[in-house]
Structure 1
Amino acid sequence: MKKKLLFLVVLLSVEASLAQTKKINLNMEVRKNRLFVLNRLVHPFVETKYKGLEINEKSGEGIVWLQDQNFSNGIIEIDMKGQDIFQKSFLGIAFHGQNDSIYEAVYFRPFNFHAQDSVRRIHAVQYIAHADFTWEKLRKERNAEFEKKIPNAPNPNEWFHARIEISATEVTVFVEKNLNPVLRVKRLSAFSDGKIGLFVGDNSGGKFANLKIIRFKN
């Protein structure tokens, strides 16, 4: 444990010296109309501990693109809140977006976090690279490689924190304060930069807050 804590301190020190950090007030982004919303509606909200935006439920996938926030390599952190309703909660982060159809994403299925079915549990967190590598294609052709379970998963009806580290070749995902990644995959996209967005899946919405973008300096 001490070695892991030391590693984290060193990592944070490296981030501070080699990166540019920006916190995005999602609540304000909605109020100032600085978002590009695809197939959804958004509205700001304020709760006791969280202030951000909420995306409504609707058929088809939806993305809320950030304005003027290009991203290449680095770290994206976000707090999210879904729900424990089967096939009604898919939410995460889209990145390296070229347009509304071509992007990479990491998203979560909270309704699978504590599912009794062991097969469903290994579908808790997912990486995709649209348009070529959808979740259906990856599950059919490379099963269990790009989606995993989350050990000691958070409450599916409560807020949880995700940290997504993106390099030129890999995507690594951490949940809450766990120092062990819940997902580490080789990237499937040839694009090295692009837009950042909030992603929701078919018939799904969700709440998002405390977005932080750490861009590594080239």
Structure 2
Amino acid sequence: MQKPLTGLVCALALLCTVPMPATADAPAQIPLIDSAWEANGHASFITREAFPNGILQVTSPSEEGFVALKNQSFSSGTIEFDIKPVGEEMPGIRFRQQDGDTADMLYIRVSPDCPASQDCLQYVPILKGRVLWDVYPQDQAAAPFRENEWNHLRLVISGQRMDVYVNRQTEPSLRVTHLEGAAGSGTIAFEGPAYYANLTLAPGVTDGLDPQAPTDPAAGDARYLVHWQASEAVSMPSADRLGLADRPGSGAHWSPVTPDYAGLINLSRYYAPTPRQAPPQVIWLRTTLHADRDQVRHVALGWLREIWVFADGKPVFAGKNRYNVKGGRKAPDGRLSLENDGFDLPLHRGANSVVVAIDANTPDMRGRYGWGFIMRMDRADGITQQ
């Protein structure tokens, strides 16, 4: 990633390949011309009266590609632009993008119901090429967004937080309190069928938005099971059955997994997507719970997509949360949440082995979206996790 160019003065802004530098009083106007963007056949650039900096028309669906700004690095500040969607698609903007496989993203589920639909706007991180739209149900909201018309969006990004304002509303439609992307800075990119115009960047202009995320709810809370070791990905023997005998053998390599915010065991950070034609893969994880007495704890479980749980060699739970399968979505709407389901975990005095197997397999979706789980016990009295 090249460093941003500063101090550049250009007499003919529409002919520049890099934007004018921004100040607190004058955000940088970004030229929407071919020489300033990496389009790769996914866009066209239009010159039209009343749009002095041009119009960018992204023509390909979101899953087929994006159009990235050249020679620019953005971390925190304000991004503003106008967008006119084409049809009921899902256009959006990426920021802090690195190499196309890592970014933070805001996208719009365009529909006439946007003002009432709780998933009109959604924030998602992109990790290792996976778009984690199904992992963070808390980061979506309704918005006064109009289909087939020009709309104005303003993103205020400060450290780990983001506020999104739609059509010059005084209050944000969406507040994101914990950005999950893996990069602290990167370029800007657009995707999805839409027209974009009047793009400006104001680095460092954050309206006083606190850059720190709220305290991690799982930090210091022993109810969350966050200490795991994970295996390498292995081929799954069957799409419908799996037993403890299928786990990796004694010579397998196990690595510690660092939990994400709120106790999420986010396997998307560790495992790249698999090709669609590849056989299903499963990850095995293991931990040990020490109990000071015999007891049974109820565990709330959120996961994507199929999961099996074993306690001291015995199965205690198996479930599917598969978005694209009729009747296969767990509440809330197939997203990962502690509302998904739960199970009773029997513990005896002493050391208890807990083993999890989890697969990302959903028809037509394997390897492209979220993968992981959260476990939280109802109480942790007399229990420690190794």
TM-score range, shorter chain: 0.7 to 0.9
SS at match of 1:173: strand
Using CA pairs under 8 Å that are at least 6 residues apart, name the structure with larger relative contact order, 1 or 2. Answer: 1
Please tell me whether the aligned partners of residues 20 and 215 of structure 1 are also in contact (alpha carbons under 8 angstroms).
no
- Residue identity in the other structure for 1:155: R
SS at match of 2:134: helix
Q: 1:170–1:38: structure 2 CA closer, same or farther, 3 Å change rule?
A: farther
Matched, 1:95 2:92: no
Please tell me whether the aligned partners of residues 80 and 154 of structure 2 are also in contact (alpha carbons under 8 angstroms).
yes
Equivalent of 2:31 in 25, 36, 41: 25
Equivalent of 1:73 in 52, 71, 76: 76
Output one character per residue of 1:59-78: Cα deviation in whole Å (capped at 9) or x when no partner: 72421111111101100000
Aligned residues: 181
Alpha-carbon shift at residue 39 of structure 1 (Å)? 6.3
Q: 1:52–1:115: structure 2 CA closer, same or farther, 3 Å change rule?
A: closer
Q: 1:189–1:20: structure 2 CA closer, same or farther, 3 Å change rule?
A: farther
Alignment-derived partner of residue 131 in structure 2: 134
Matched, 1:175 2:166: yes
Alpha-carbon shift at residue 170 of structure 1 (Å)? 0.3
Matched, 1:211 2:199: yes
Looking at structure 2, the residues matched to 214 and 74 of structure 1 have their Cα atoms a distance apart, in angstroms, of: 6
- Residue identity in the other structure for 2:99: N
Q: 1:160–1:47: structure 2 CA closer, same or farther, 3 Å change rule?
A: farther
Question: For structure 2, which runs of at least 5 residues remain unmatched after alignment?
Answer: 1-21, 206-386
SS at match of 1:60: helix
Alignment-derived partner of residue 160 in structure 1: 151
Output one character per residue of 1:181-212: Cα deviation in whole Å (capped at 9) or x when no partner: 01111111242111111122xxxx11000000
Output one character per residue of 1:21-63: Cα deviation in whole Å (capped at 9) or x when no partner: 211121xx22xx2211256132324266684111113472421
Mapping of residues 37-56 of structure 1, within 5 Å: 37-38=39-40, 40-46=42-48, 51-56=54-59
Alignment-derived partner of residue 110 in structure 1: 110
Matched, 1:193 2:185: yes
Looking at structure 2, the residues matched to 48 and 131 of structure 1 have their Cα atoms a distance apart, in angstroms, of: 38
Looking at structure 2, the residues matched to 75 and 168 of structure 1 have their Cα atoms a distance apart, in angstroms, of: 12
Matched, 1:146 2:148: no
- Residue identity in the other structure for 2:30: I
Looking at structure 2, the residues matched to 199 and 173 of structure 1 have their Cα atoms a distance apart, in angstroms, of: 18
Output one character per residue of 1:144-187: Cα deviation in whole Å (capped at 9) or x when no partner: x111111xx24211000000011111011000110110111111
SS at match of 2:39: strand
Looking at structure 2, the residues matched to 64 and 49 of structure 1 have their Cα atoms a distance apart, in angstroms, of: 19
Please tell me whether the aligned partners of residues 58 and 190 of structure 2 are also in contact (alpha carbons under 8 angstroms).
no
Please tell me whether the aligned partners of residues 38 and 100 of structure 1 are also in contact (alpha carbons under 8 angstroms).
no
Output one character per residue of 1:93-130: Cα deviation in whole Å (capped at 9) or x when no partner: 1110111111111111222x5269x6xx1111111110
SS at match of 1:110: coil
Q: 1:58–1:189: structure 2 CA closer, same or farther, 3 Å change rule?
A: closer
Looking at structure 2, the residues matched to 122 and 211 of structure 1 have their Cα atoms a distance apart, in angstroms, of: 26
- Residue identity in the other structure for 1:127: Y
Looking at structure 2, the residues matched to 67 and 59 of structure 1 have their Cα atoms a distance apart, in angstroms, of: 19
Q: Percent identity?
A: 24
- Residue identity in the other structure for 2:81: I
Matched, 1:184 2:166: no
Structure of higher CA gyration radius? 2
Looking at structure 1, the residues matched to 167 and 98 of structure 2 have their Cα atoms a distance apart, in angstroms, of: 29
More helix by share: 1
Looking at structure 2, the residues matched to 21 and 136 of structure 1 have their Cα atoms a distance apart, in angstroms, of: 30
Alignment-derived partner of residue 36 in structure 1: 38
Please tell me whether the aligned partners of residues 122 and 133 of structure 2 are also in contact (alpha carbons under 8 angstroms).
no
Looking at structure 2, the residues matched to 79 and 115 of structure 1 have their Cα atoms a distance apart, in angstroms, of: 17
- Residue identity in the other structure for 2:118: I
TM-score (norm 2): 0.43
SS at match of 1:75: strand
